Chains A and B, each alone.
Chain A
């Protein structure tokens, strides 16, 4: 069975600082990995996805993530935080055990950006 662990339920950064949100996964097969963002009272929006092509994945809003198989990690980064990045972020895995993309999510990390 697959699982996702997000280290740090809350992360606080200054505007302009590096954003690093950590995600580790477990999977018995090569996974597909996703990062979603959720703003208050809204659904989840896809930031980026890893599909076994390039290990460094670029997404929307300047975010990127690197798949590291040896570390079973898929950490999300952004070089310079904006106030508008304040939201909750979820890492998710589709371990390929089904043919239709059933996702397992981490517990989420709330990102706070202060001036």
Chain B
């Protein structure tokens, strides 16, 4: 079956531009996570959705970061006025309680480069 997909795979933005990153989770997965992976680092939690509800946004680094999942399926991570420190790979993961111990399935990521 289809896994988690993300688009675009690569994005180059000029500093100050707004970007939108899309995540299509596995069909039927209730839970959706966003992580940020800087070069040479492990992924860091950004935010969590259960269906359309954003239950944890404690990892969002600033108010320039905004995420939504309006219909409980596709999610969009938006970054306003991008800065160079936003350059990273943004990973999306989905899971469902039926998977057991929250086994998260990751997408391939979107590599954002801010110039």
Which of A's residues lie within 8 Å of B, judged by CB?
A: 4, 9, 32, 36, 41-46, 49, 51, 90, 92, 94, 98, 100-108
Contact = CB atoms under 8 A, between A and B. Distances in A.
A78 B111 CA distance: 31
B56 A107 contact: no
A85 B103 CA distance: 21
A100 B42 contact: no
Interface of B: 4, 31, 33, 35, 40-45, 48, 50, 55-56, 91, 93, 95, 100-104, 106-109
A94 B104 CA distance: 11
A100 B55 CA distance: 10
Nearest to A32: B101
A90 B43 contact: yes
13 contacts: A41-B108, A43-B107, A43-B109, A44-B91, A44-B106, A92-B42, A94-B101, A94-B102, A101-B95, A102-B48, A103-B43, A106-B42, A107-B40
